[in-house]
Amino acid sequence: MAVNFQGLLVVTFWVVSVNLLCSARAQEFGVSVPENVAVGETIFSLPGTRAGEKAELPCAKIEGDPYGRFNVTKNCTIVVANPLDWSVQSTYLLTIRSGVHNTRVKVELSDVEGYPPVYNETCETPVNPNGQTGDLLYSINFALEVGKYGFLCHKTCICKNGARCHGFNGACKCPPGWKGVSCDIPKQDVSITTTPSDPRDIYISANITLHCEVHHVDVGYLTVTVPNKSNKVSFGINKTVFHVPNIQPTNNGPYTCQVRDTRGNTLNTTFVLNVTNCAPDTKGARCDEVCGCLQGASCDRWAGCVCPPGWTGTRCQRKCPHGTYGKDCARKCTCQNWATCDPNDGRCECQAGWYGMDCSKPCKDGRFGWRCQQFCACKNSAVCSNVHGSCACVTPWTGPDCDQLQTSRDEPLLESLVPLGSLVLLVAIVMAILYKTGILACSTPDTAEEDKILFELRRMEQDLAQSLQPGWLGRWEKKIKHLTPGPLIGEGMFGLVRKGKLRTPEGELAVAAKTVRVEDSQSYRDFYREAAILVAVHQQRDGDCRESNIVRLVGLITKSAEKYILLEYAPKGDLLGFLRRSGNINEKDLFGNLLGYAVHIARALQELERLRIAHRDVAARNVLITADDVAKLADFGLARDVYAANQYIRANRPGVDELLPLKWMALESIETGEYTCQSDVWSFGVLLWEIATLGKDPCYDGRMQLSFLQMVGILRQGIRLERPPGCPEDLYRLMRSCWRDVPDTRPTPEGIEERLLQLRHALLPHDVIEMETVV
Ligand SMILES: *[C@@H]1O[C@H](CO)[C@@H](O)[C@H](O)[C@H]1NC(C)=O
Ligand SMILES: *[C@@H]1O[C@H](CO)[C@@H](O)[C@H](O)[C@H]1NC(C)=O
Ligand SMILES: *[C@@H]1O[C@H](CO)[C@@H](O)[C@H](O)[C@H]1NC(C)=O
Ligand SMILES: *[C@@H]1O[C@H](CO)[C@@H](O)[C@H](O)[C@H]1NC(C)=O
Ligand SMILES: *[C@@H]1O[C@H](CO)[C@@H](O)[C@H](O)[C@H]1NC(C)=O
Ligand SMILES: *[C@@H]1O[C@H](CO)[C@@H](O)[C@H](O)[C@H]1NC(C)=O
Ligand SMILES: *[C@@H]1O[C@H](CO)[C@@H](O)[C@H](O)[C@H]1NC(C)=O
Ligand SMILES: *[C@@H]1O[C@H](CO)[C@@H](O)[C@H](O)[C@H]1NC(C)=O
């Protein structure tokens, strides 16, 4: 691994032998240094036995260092002048003139693991082929700050001779003819390069040119051999070009350049041409048919257009036929009751009167219509149609709402009904008293309550409600008497969080207990929304919570006056506090932990995406760090202001009165109140920004305080958070891509995870990553 090697330099001296017999009195010394010794470091100083001589006749290097790795100062110290590399040369025998004598110093390098850094092309920041500066996620101009590298672009590249410097670890990619850590040592070499240089641009009927070049060799003659074994020989030149026009499969095969130097040694290199693809948008055996794919589909030489899920046809011009969806329309829709099926993901859009994942459940509990959003008006035990809310009366009732009596001959019926009505009333009163006095209050799972909450949720979020199964509340219910509340760890206007202990059959468990302080309808809804999301997440994972990046639910207490959500206790607190406390951590920790936390949250977003639930408040303050250093997403809506009151702004929109995290919100969420997994991705971009600034408060257009309308105006103009000082361009591009206007063009949580892992992989030594990914 690459370590900070200043201070680690171990120099050992020993006198190998002192040859007293020889009249020249050549002295020999040995010194051993690690290969990563810093340039400028003194590695040897001639012992001062002959200080007088040193003063009279200054020291000088005579031989043993053809490529200038060392400087010898006048007073006989050896200083490293250029980067060393054990794999290029591990021993140097230097001869130094000191005074009237010659001194031999043997410098032995030791191999340092992980040095020099590897130029990993997989993790290379790709070059934007068109040189555009548009914000395509992966089209990143290489090394934006020329000659700099590292997470904060504050380290200087040492690459010479036109070598490319890796943006993350500073490794050099040597051009042909050079070797060494900084590509400054000549290498005898023969190379083949092609134009166009990008293999993707080499396709059937393209024209290419092979350039054969010889480096640091006295050329005798140069031979180019082509696949049909014919060759071309040139004498005394170090460079030759070879054109292959209108490439056909018969041109495929090895192209070899062989050089013989003036002393009879040979060197060769081979380039294998393997062209099998047609030019973009063409197909067929002769690549002469046009694809013309729609929907951004790619064109395969033999298969034609490869359609994205939900599309079919030779040019992907048709949506999947009714009842099918997915890639190649190969999957069957499961939607029932005339629901339409999304051709892309098979999701059902229920018709009025039906709900559930496959729209198989009719509206219940006196509701009807689209998304069961309307209330039946049917009276007197009439059956209400789940589709249009019409009432099927039972005799003797009639009328549209079944609240009129049949005005017919059976007068006496009315009389007999009166006592019946009073009896029902009496029973209701007795029940109410029993309930109030607590006799019925603690009855086992209160399904009526659960259904009520479910309907409330369904009004807010259909998908969330669909993820829950009957009895969801009861299954997580814990007893208040088993909870011992402890110190307050967060407090706000709507709720508070205490550390507490919960008695369980397995022993006592440290928990964070969240509770609603004021019983207003908003906080009541938030409470159940959070409870429902956590239950849904845990149900989906079937109780296996080890790998989830969503805070673990321990239980719920809903049957007491004070309602609690019990969560795992995270001793390291929230990410925002962590960031703000880590003002001067070193860079390694920055990469290791902080981007690692971002990866964890990207995974949490994937979990929510699978459930089609939006978090609505992804921000550093809502991420908790567990004892094992895992970041977990928390705070699904309760106690908005528990952690940072000034980060929420009161909405000033008709009919909306809530505190909103404006500076974290996606444009569409601010404008229309719409929250989706893509709007969470926007907020995630702001979270990345918080990480890159170590917890600064987001600041748009130089202003900290912004009203609702100002915020919309600023975002509509395309203004976004600025690149934090020192933030790598790659990371900032990832943020910018999260803040695109059109939600569908933002990256997916999965894509974000992949991108972050790439960024991180290039920054960190591999062993650390292995450990982290296991977690
Ligand atoms: C040799 O000279 C350099 C400056 O040129 C000085 O830094 C170093 O301490 C000197 N070393 C000895 C052993 O005198
Ligand atoms: C080595 O010597 C050269 C020429 O005298 C000088 O330019 C260079 O800065 C020296 N390097 C170090 C590390 O002292
Ligand atoms: C380069 O990175 C990729 C993926 O990150 C990895 O699989 C590969 O082993 C790395 N190569 C080297 C030489 O480190
Ligand atoms: C290859 O070169 C020929 C002749 O110079 C030209 O007509 C043809 O268009 C070129 N092909 C491509 C793909 O550029
Ligand atoms: C090729 O030879 C010429 C002189 O004949 C020389 O100037 C040039 O640097 C050499 N190129 C390489 C790559 O060695
Ligand atoms: C071999 O291929 C080269 C060009 O690729 C061509 O000029 C030459 O005529 C071919 N020779 C034979 C024997 O086919
Ligand atoms: C190229 O060199 C390798 C050894 O480096 C040798 O095995 C091989 O036969 C050579 N190829 C040709 C075509 O000369
Ligand atoms: C050429 O590439 C194809 C895949 O693109 C591969 O299957 C084939 O083996 C390659 N042929 C040679 C000669 O490398």
- Distance (angstroms) between ligand 2 centre and the Cα of 286 equals 61
From the CA of 39, the nearest ligand is 2
Q: What is the pLDDT of residue 61?
A: 84
DSSP secondary structure letters along 674-717: ---HHHHHHHHHHHHHHHHTTSPPP-BTTBS---HHHHHHHHHT
Q: Is residue 132 very low, low, confident or very high in pLDDT (cuts 50, 70, 90)?
A: very low
Q: What is the pLDDT of residue 770?
A: 46
Q: Is residue 255 very low, low, confident or very high in pLDDT (cuts 50, 70, 90)?
A: very high
> What is the arithmetic mean of pLDDT over 411-433?
44
Mean pLDDT, the chain, rounded, equals: 79
Task: Please tell me whether 514 is known to bind a ligand.
Answer: yes
Q: What is the pLDDT of residue 189?
A: 93
Q: What is the pLDDT of residue 637?
A: 56
> Which mutation among 239, 261, 269 tests ligand 5's pocket best, with the greatest number of atoms within 8 A of CB?
239
Residue owning the nearest CA to atom 1 of ligand 4: 207
Q: Which atom of ligand 1 is nearest to the CA of 73?
A: 5
The strand pairing partners of 375, in sequence order, are 367
pLDDT tens, 62-75? 889 999 999 998 88
Q: Is residue 446 very low, low, confident or very high in pLDDT (cuts 50, 70, 90)?
A: low
The residue among 31 and 494 whose pLDDT is bigger is: 31
> What is the arithmetic mean of pLDDT over 488-515?
83
Pocket, ligand 5, Cβ cutoff 6 A: 213, 215, 238
Q: Is residue 473 very low, low, confident or very high in pLDDT (cuts 50, 70, 90)?
A: confident
Q: Is 228 in the pocket of ligand 6 (CB under 6 A)?
A: yes
pLDDT tens, 619-677? 998 899 998 889 999 887 543 433 333 455 555 544 444 567 889 999 988 887 778 88
Q: What is the pLDDT of residue 419?
A: 45
Return the SS3 of 420: helix
Q: Is 127 in the pocket of ligand 2 (CB under 6 A)?
A: no
First to last CA, the chain: 21
Q: Is 226 in the pocket of ligand 6 (CB under 6 A)?
A: yes
Q: Is residue 32 very low, low, confident or very high in pLDDT (cuts 50, 70, 90)?
A: very high
Q: What is the pLDDT of residue 591?
A: 62
Catalytic annotation on 617?
Answer: yes
> What is the arithmetic mean of pLDDT over 12-26?
40
> What is the arithmetic mean of pLDDT over 112-118?
90
Q: Is 27 in the pocket of ligand 7 (CB under 6 A)?
A: no
> What is the arithmetic mean of pLDDT over 596-612?
90
pLDDT at 546 over 50: yes
Which own/partner contact pairs does 477-486 have at CB distance under 8 Å and 24+ positions apart?
477/445, 477/555, 477/556, 477/557, 477/558, 477/559, 478/502, 478/554, 478/555, 478/556, 478/557, 478/566, 479/557, 480/557, 480/559, 480/560, 480/562, 480/564, 483/511, 483/513, 483/557, 483/564, 483/566, 485/513
Name the percent of the chain lying above pLDDT 70.
76
The residue among 23 and 202 whose pLDDT is bigger is: 202
Between 82-91, 238-247, 587-596, the lowest mean confidence (pLDDT) is in: 587-596
The residue among 126 and 206 whose pLDDT is bigger is: 206
Q: Is residue 8 very low, low, confident or very high in pLDDT (cuts 50, 70, 90)?
A: very low
pLDDT tens, 721-762? 999 887 888 899 999 999 999 999 999 999 999 999 888 877
Q: Is residue 416 very low, low, confident or very high in pLDDT (cuts 50, 70, 90)?
A: very low
pLDDT at 13 over 80: no
Name the percent of the chain lying above pLDDT 90.
32
The strand pairing partners of 231, in sequence order, are 225
Q: What is the pLDDT of residue 679?
A: 92
> Which mutation among 192, 266, 268, 269 tests ligand 7's pocket best, with the greatest number of atoms within 8 A of CB?
268
pLDDT tens, 258-294? 999 999 899 999 999 999 889 888 998 888 899 999 9
Q: Is residue 766 very low, low, confident or very high in pLDDT (cuts 50, 70, 90)?
A: low
Q: What is the pLDDT of residue 684?
A: 97
Q: Which atom of ligand 1 is nearest to the CA of 48?
A: 13
Any residues with CB less than 8 A from the CB of 185 and at least 6 apart, and which? 67, 85, 88, 178, 179
**Catalytic residue chosen out of the listed positions 184, 358, 617, 635:** 617
Q: Is residue 27 very low, low, confident or very high in pLDDT (cuts 50, 70, 90)?
A: confident
Q: Is 404 in the pocket of ligand 4 (CB under 6 A)?
A: no
Return the SS3 of 282: strand
Q: Is residue 133 very low, low, confident or very high in pLDDT (cuts 50, 70, 90)?
A: very low
Q: Is residue 28 very low, low, confident or very high in pLDDT (cuts 50, 70, 90)?
A: confident
Enter the DSSP assignment of 69. Answer: -
Between 39-43, 152-156, 706-710, 763-767, the lowest mean confidence (pLDDT) is in: 763-767
- Distance CA(552)–CA(554), nearest Å, equals 6
Between 302-306, 494-498, 501-505, the lowest mean confidence (pLDDT) is in: 494-498
In this structure, are residues 683 and 605 in contact, taking their beta carbons and an 8 Å threshold? Answer: no
- Distance (angstroms) between ligand 8 centre and the Cα of 253 equals 10
**Which of 38-52, 81-95, 573-587: highest mean pLDDT?**
81-95
> What is the arithmetic mean of pLDDT over 331-347?
87
List, in sequence order, every beta strand (DSSP E) within 138-252: 148-149, 155-156, 164-165, 172-173, 178-179, 185-186, 189-195, 208-215, 219-225, 231-235, 239-244
> Which mutation among 1, 122, 764 tests ligand 3's pocket best, with the greatest number of atoms within 8 A of CB?
122
Compute how many other C-beta atoms are within 10 angstroms of the C-beta atom of residue 248.
12
Q: Is 32 in the pocket of ligand 4 (CB under 6 A)?
A: no
- Distance (angstroms) between ligand 8 centre and the Cα of 475 equals 57
Q: What is the pLDDT of residue 220?
A: 92
From the CA of 226, the nearest ligand is 6
Residue owning the nearest CA to atom 3 of ligand 7: 268
Residue owning the nearest CA to atom 12 of ligand 5: 215
Q: What is the pLDDT of residue 443?
A: 37
Q: Is residue 694 very low, low, confident or very high in pLDDT (cuts 50, 70, 90)?
A: confident
pLDDT at 430 over 50: no
Q: What is the pLDDT of residue 608?
A: 86
- Distance CA(702)–CA(696), nearest Å, equals 13
pLDDT at 411 over 80: no
Q: What is the pLDDT of residue 256?
A: 96
Q: Is residue 48 very low, low, confident or very high in pLDDT (cuts 50, 70, 90)?
A: low
pLDDT at 562 over 60: yes
Pocket, ligand 3, Cβ cutoff 6 A: 118, 120, 122-123, 761
Which own/partner contact pairs does 451-455 have at CB distance under 8 Å and 24+ positions apart?
451/364, 451/365, 453/528, 453/532, 455/365, 455/367, 455/372
The residue among 211 and 610 whose pLDDT is bigger is: 211
Q: What is the pLDDT of residue 689?
A: 94
Return the SS3 of 332: strand
Between 100-109, 203-212, 524-533, 564-573, the lowest mean confidence (pLDDT) is in: 524-533
Q: What element of type H or E holds 375?
A: strand 374-375
Residue owning the nearest CA to atom 5 of ligand 8: 276
> Which mutation among 250, 270, 274 tests ligand 8's pocket best, with the greatest number of atoms within 8 A of CB?
274
